[in-house]
Structure 1
Amino acid sequence: MIYIDINQERVPALGLGTYSLTGQACRTSVADAILLGYRHIDTAKMYDNEQDVGYGISDASVDRDDLFVTTKIWHTDLTRSGITAGLEDSLQKLQMDYVNLTLIHWPSDDMNLEECLETLMELQQQGKTRLIGVSNFPASLLQEAKSIAPIVCNQVEYHPYLGQSAILNVVREHNLMLTAYSPIAKGEVLQDQNLVNLGKKYGKSPTQITLRWLVQQDNVAAIPKASSHEHRAENLDIFNFSLTDEEMDHIHSLSKNHRLINPHFAPVWDD
């Protein structure tokens, strides 16, 4: 496993995303992932699965301190009371005293960013979240957030077809972490002959090549969702090879500003 060291926390660079996983399927997926060796689990209030994630973690019987668990506050709850109640609710559903990282899930046009971040800092001081951060923040807004609070992360869509150079520049300038969601572009990488050919060279799938490309970058983590045991095991099997600098650059060159996640309330992207 590759780790990212952020504010005295060691974050596994590969985690399990749980978006759209609910009920028993979510519980089984989380427990199985932990048994396979995953130690980074990502959830959110909006996913409506925090209780299932908590049950899955409990089923796996792993020491809580060995896990890195992230949750997120939805964009409609970005007030002092909404953030506080939201995290309290998440902790109750997860059956935890703390999470490792709490994120603002999406920015909101009418949020008071300073108040939101101050509230997260207060919850951090209370020990309810070890770290704080944001998600889906454009580079300029990320820079602003960093000037207000000790955020450590921006979780954004990132895959070979959507370069995030502006955000990565801010991330690396401040030693933050970019967590990539939709890292295999909703399966589009599977049909990419560039990645298929690289996979043949290393005896890996296009998915594994893509995930390796992500976690081999400085300050980048990836959280692919995998609903089957086979895919969870496959995604984890990326730490026994490395891509060359030329191969890394070639995958970067595939970027075409192909954004897959862009809801009506999304911010204006500046990169």
Structure 2
Amino acid sequence: MSIPAFGLGTFRLKDEVVKASVATAVELGYRAIDTAQIYDNEAAVGEALAESGVAREALYITTKIWIENLAADKLIDSLQESLRKLKTDYVDLTLIHWPSPNQAVSVAETMHALVEAKKRGLTREIGISNFTVALMQEAIDAVGADQIATNQIELSPFLQNQTVADYARRNGIAVTSYMTLAYGDALKDTTIIEIAARHHATPAQIVLAWALQLGYAVIPSSTRRENLQSNLLAQQLTLTEADMQQIAALERNGRLVSPEGLAPAWD
């Protein structure tokens, strides 16, 4: 997987809150930071990274193109604006945040525009987010699977998204899991709590270790230093096959993110 396995998410964090989260995370050793045009926090993220003192080449910055900017005549301009806000000449990964509603802009058009952005050096890698199997195939048909670094999808113990994850794997496309902790609901699950007790770990560490062990990248967010530090330790955990099977049994199609008018027809 070319993308880092462990990063920091910034969804719903803005202004001084996101600056503090990013600054603390980078101080603790995080190097991958995930943002998006629609989060309205790229400028704050950029400030925190610029003030961190960490060399740009040591960081891995991801942003996502909002639906209003998916057309070929808008995408590159919007990405250049994102770069200005992030105070960088390039991002490491640029994703289509959501497929264009009602296919107002074709997947092919946007993917070709992303390839052009890559050729211009505005982004090192490109990818997709919230794409179903059918949409993934459209992206593959447009530019080839080797151009697609990841599909960032909602994925948690309660929504394991197996059909999409398996299809991505078969095509050599990495999966990035967002909402891995299910808005914190997974941390209250009795099975997760029992496994955590066995490993002398936190429930969050168990869930993140589960996703990592399945080969997914994770981007948990937090505003608390102790959680940011604790989450990192998930990388050192190894779950047993029995643990993994217990978590697999928690699947319940528990999707939390499906905005009306924006979400595709899920698999």
Distance 2:25 2:136 in 1: 31
SS in 2 for 1:162: coil
- Please report how far the alpha carbon of residue 244 of structure 1 lies from its aligned counterpart in structure 2 after TM superposition: 1.1
Match of 1:158 among 155, 159, 177: 155
Aligned residue-pair number? 261
- Please report how far the alpha carbon of residue 170 of structure 1 lies from its aligned counterpart in structure 2 after TM superposition: 1.7
Q: Which amino acid aligns with 1:258?
A: G
- Please report how far the alpha carbon of residue 75 of structure 1 lies from its aligned counterpart in structure 2 after TM superposition: 1.3
The 8 Å contact of residues 135 and 154 in structure 1, kept in 2 or not, is answered as yes
Higher helix share: 2
Q: Residues 160-204 of structure 1: CA distance to partner in whole angstroms, max 9, x if unpaired?
A: 000211111122112211111111000001210100001001111
The 8 Å contact of residues 43 and 49 in structure 1, kept in 2 or not, is answered as yes
Distance 2:31 2:92 in 1: 12
Distance 1:215 1:146 in 2: 25
Deviating beyond 2 angstroms after TM superposition, the runs of 4 or more aligned structure 1 residues are none
- Please report how far the alpha carbon of residue 240 of structure 1 lies from its aligned counterpart in structure 2 after TM superposition: 2.4
Q: Which runs of 5+ in 1 are unaligned?
A: none
1:249 paired with 2:245, answer yes
- Please report how far the alpha carbon of residue 144 of structure 1 lies from its aligned counterpart in structure 2 after TM superposition: 1.9
- Please report how far the alpha carbon of residue 258 of structure 1 lies from its aligned counterpart in structure 2 after TM superposition: 0.6
The 8 Å contact of residues 42 and 223 in structure 1, kept in 2 or not, is answered as yes
Q: Which runs of 5+ in 2 are unaligned?
A: none
The 8 Å contact of residues 66 and 97 in structure 2, kept in 1 or not, is answered as yes
Q: TM-score, normalised by structure 1?
A: 0.94
Q: Which amino acid aligns with 2:132?
A: P
1:179 paired with 2:176, answer yes
- Please report how far the alpha carbon of residue 239 of structure 1 lies from its aligned counterpart in structure 2 after TM superposition: 2.4
- Equivalence for 2:138: 144
The 8 Å contact of residues 32 and 60 in structure 1, kept in 2 or not, is answered as no
- Equivalence for 1:168: 165
SS in 1 for 2:172: coil
Distance 1:268 1:46 in 2: 22
1:223 paired with 2:215, answer no
- Equivalence for 2:80: 88
- Please report how far the alpha carbon of residue 77 of structure 1 lies from its aligned counterpart in structure 2 after TM superposition: 1.8
Identity %: 39
The 8 Å contact of residues 143 and 170 in structure 1, kept in 2 or not, is answered as no
The 8 Å contact of residues 103 and 135 in structure 1, kept in 2 or not, is answered as yes
Q: Residues 98-129 of structure 1: CA distance to partner in whole angstroms, max 9, x if unpaired?
A: 00100000001211211111110001001100
1:98 paired with 2:95, answer no
Q: TM-score, normalised by structure 2?
A: 0.95
The 8 Å contact of residues 158 and 253 in structure 2, kept in 1 or not, is answered as yes
The 8 Å contact of residues 42 and 69 in structure 1, kept in 2 or not, is answered as yes
Q: Which amino acid aligns with 2:25?
A: A
Q: Residues 202-232 of structure 1: CA distance to partner in whole angstroms, max 9, x if unpaired?
A: 11111110000001112x1011111111111
Q: Which amino acid aligns with 2:195?
A: L
Distance 2:5 2:32 in 1: 8
Select between 166-175 and 188-197 the one with higher mean Cα deviation: 166-175
